[in-house]
Structure 1
Amino acid sequence: MDIYASTLSPALDIGAGCYLLVLTVLSIVGNLLVLIMAFKRSSRMKPPELLSVNLAVTDLGAAVTMYPLAVASAWSHHWLGGDVSCIYYGLAGFFFGVASIMNLTVLAIVRFIVSLNLQSPKEKISWKKAKILCIWTWLYALIWALFPILGWGQYGPEPFGLSCSLAWGQMKHKAFSFVITLFFFNLVMPGVIIICCYFGIAMKLYFTYKKSGNSNHVPNIIRLHRRLLIIAVLISMGFIACWTPYSLVSLWSIFHDSSKIPPEVSLLPCMFAKSSTVYNPMIYYFFSQSFKREVKQLPWLCLRSSPCFVSNSVNDNNIYMVSGNIKNNKEAPQETLQEIVESRQ
């Protein structure tokens, strides 16, 4: 039996390939735009922004190094490259997935630390600390991705034959401890930390608002933090929501016979998980007016018949921009949410 032959119908293979191709294009274009925007304003960046950039790098890395191979395999109705490419694909998927969830976890902790004193002018996160945190997420992910290569865990083809990941069915006999440890340290624990941090931020904003009384200064800060909080929660919860169905199906296959899962059913959570690399730029674009404005100002996006859109709004809820004091909003209309907020980090 050829374990790399597709168990799906030819029509479904082609459909899966087209879906992955769309994800590839959207992910590469979207995350490149995030990196371009960050590069354009690199001289004004503050340390915590590095984590947002790092998250875009993980999503872009997954799209570039993995998805083209999956698209080609789907259209060939057979996994290409055999064992070597299967191990490579499984390792890359595991590596970028763990790097993303840990980056989101660190980002939530950093935002919680910043929220402890909303009005403090002192920087709470230095460039050195931000760089160490980014490097730590990559090293942590690399260690976990290498465990199956070193014998603790195993990579193998998915049940539908057109993708590779951790061999969940085989690991229930050979590496059950790896599965339990993996789920705890890379799904349960990060999820709990993210939820607790953002809940703590929400409570802090609520009590700060209650104590502010008639002050106009504090509510403005709270309003800006609230907008940033909403976007951060959407990004974190979106990633967890994309990967939870795949995690549940994988965990189910540990305790039951995975061959009883129809290939079409096992395909859906896998495809849904891959979409996690696409939605971050979309969240930035639809929820951050300044990000949308700066994207539209790019020369190659400006149509000759329509001038580039420029906004002077001071209420833009940006993701990763940094600057001065909230009192000077009228003097610096181009300042953005994170410019105002992260100046207090």
Structure 2
Amino acid sequence: MHHSFFLPNSSLYTGPHGEPPLSRTGFVILSVVMALFTGPAIVLNATVIIVSLMHKQLRQPLNYALVNMAVADLGTAMTGGVLSVINNAQGYFSFGRTGCVMEGFAVSLFGITSLCTVALIAVERMFVICKPLGQMTFQKKHACRGITLAWLWSLMWNVPPLLGWGRYELEGVGTSCAPDWHSGEPHHVSYILVYFAVCFALPFAIILMSYSKLLWTLHQVSKLACLEGGAVAKAELSVASMVIIMVLTFLISWMPYAGLSMLVVYNPKVEINPLVATVPVYLAKSSTVYNPIIYIYCNRQFRKYAVPFLLCGKMLWVEDEAAEATTTVEMASNTVSPA
């Protein structure tokens, strides 16, 4: 088979007699599965970007991070998603060594930027509701700085493999590329360990701390405002439910991939079926579908414009006009006094 000869770890993707890791039918099924993730991801994220450009009401500082996440997720879907569909349909990685490096870098850049943006959204919501710096207004400059930091942080940690610290290689069944966590060479292992710490563990810690502070603040306000018809308590419950969903989807999307990477790094001799190694890869890429639904289409402001756009002007339900002007988080922030 010629499909992975250009990579040092090609033996991971062929059997002892050079046979492919999956049957032709298996590759076609993977292609269809990836297409089912990629198609909706492209449509949903592109819709968010388009309606944001069309309606100035959506171009508020608190929404900048949501749009940035849509841009990053669209980039992931257009590079990693589309190329995975094509390569799986063919049954091998068809773009050569250079294509592997380019895909690995692009998917990692967009993916880590999206992940960092999720952490940025958590920090923004914590600042708006908990007001740790007093009555500071969240402005455009704050949003732009946060977005710039997310892109620079991702770029800083995805460039080293292009310069020799770490490298981009085939992964899973050999139809997509990513940072090489199979290599046992010390300088590659050191890169993967640092990459895990700063690009997964750190954003996750920020998300947990920010949302923990947010929920604690809402809980305290809920106890003090029990005479207000339960409005604050309802806001607390709504935000708590949303936070749980956000954290769970984050873990479902990224924990298997990060866990498998660390397992191979700490135990290089472990034998993992290529198909098993592919599942975490697809789960991570599936976040491009979850993110716009959870963070954006559950936001009344975006939903008001995005759903009619997707349905060519039709609206499946009628929402209370007073409620449409605000999100649950914004409603809660109006009831919280400065910390």
Provide the residue aligned with 1:24 in structure 2.
38
Range moving further from structure 2, 160-169 or 174-183: 174-183
Matched, 1:142 2:155: yes
Is the contact between residue 171 and residue 179 of structure 1 (CA under 8 Å) also seen in structure 2? no
CA-CA distance at 1:81 after TM superposition: 1.2
- Matched residue type, 1:31: N
Is the contact between residue 180 and residue 188 of structure 2 (CA under 8 Å) also seen in structure 1? no
Provide the residue aligned with 1:272 in structure 2.
283
- Cα pair distance change 1:173/1:205, threshold 3 Å: same
- Matched residue type, 2:186: H
Provide the residue aligned with 2:17 in structure 1.
none
Is the contact between residue 79 and residue 163 of structure 1 (CA under 8 Å) also seen in structure 2? yes
Give TM-score scaled by structure 1 length. 0.82
Picking from 187, 190, 202, the partner of 2:200 is 187
Picking from 80, 84, 92, the partner of 1:66 is 80
- Cα pair distance change 1:29/1:342, threshold 3 Å: farther
CA-CA distance at 1:193 after TM superposition: 1.8
Give TM-score scaled by structure 2 length. 0.84
Q: Distance in 1 between matches of 2:272 and 2:60?
A: 48
How many residue pairs get aligned? The number is: 320
Provide the residue aligned with 1:320 in structure 2.
none
- Cα pair distance change 1:165/1:29, threshold 3 Å: same
- Cα pair distance change 1:91/1:336, threshold 3 Å: same
Moved over 4 A (4+): 284-293, 338-345
- Matched residue type, 2:320: S
- Matched residue type, 2:34: L
- Matched residue type, 1:191: F
CA-CA distance at 1:222 after TM superposition: 5.7
- Cα pair distance change 1:296/1:342, threshold 3 Å: same
* Structure 2: tracts of 5 or more residues without a match: 15-19
Q: Distance in 2 between matches of 1:291 and 1:107?
A: 15
Provide the residue aligned with 1:318 in structure 2.
none
- Cα pair distance change 1:132/1:342, threshold 3 Å: farther
- Matched residue type, 1:150: L
Picking from 205, 229, 238, the partner of 1:227 is 238
Superposition pairs of residues 54-133 of structure 1, within 5 angstroms: 54-117=68-131, 122-133=135-146
Deviation string for 1:281-314 (max 9, x for gaps)? Answer: 3335774566555444338535xxxx64452415
Is the contact between residue 167 and residue 180 of structure 2 (CA under 8 Å) also seen in structure 1? yes
CA-CA distance at 1:176 after TM superposition: 2.3
- Matched residue type, 2:272: I
Matched, 1:243 2:257: no
Is the contact between residue 58 and residue 302 of structure 2 (CA under 8 Å) also seen in structure 1? no
Q: Distance in 1 between matches of 2:241 and 2:54?
A: 25
CA-CA distance at 1:185 after TM superposition: 1.3
CA-CA distance at 1:116 after TM superposition: 1.6
CA-CA distance at 1:96 after TM superposition: 1.5
Partner of 1:298, secondary structure, is: helix
Query: How many percent of aligned residue pairs carry the same amino acid?
Result: 25
- Cα pair distance change 1:10/1:44, threshold 3 Å: closer
Picking from 53, 62, 65, the partner of 1:48 is 62
Q: Distance in 1 between matches of 2:115 and 2:87?
A: 27
Task: Give the superposed CA RMSD.
Answer: 2.9
* Structure 1: tracts of 5 or more residues without a match: 315-328
Partner of 1:301, secondary structure, is: coil
Is the contact between residue 100 and residue 176 of structure 2 (CA under 8 Å) also seen in structure 1? yes
Partner of 1:244, secondary structure, is: helix
- Cα pair distance change 1:38/1:342, threshold 3 Å: farther
Is the contact between residue 109 and residue 194 of structure 1 (CA under 8 Å) also seen in structure 2? yes
Range moving further from structure 2, 18-27 or 278-287: 278-287
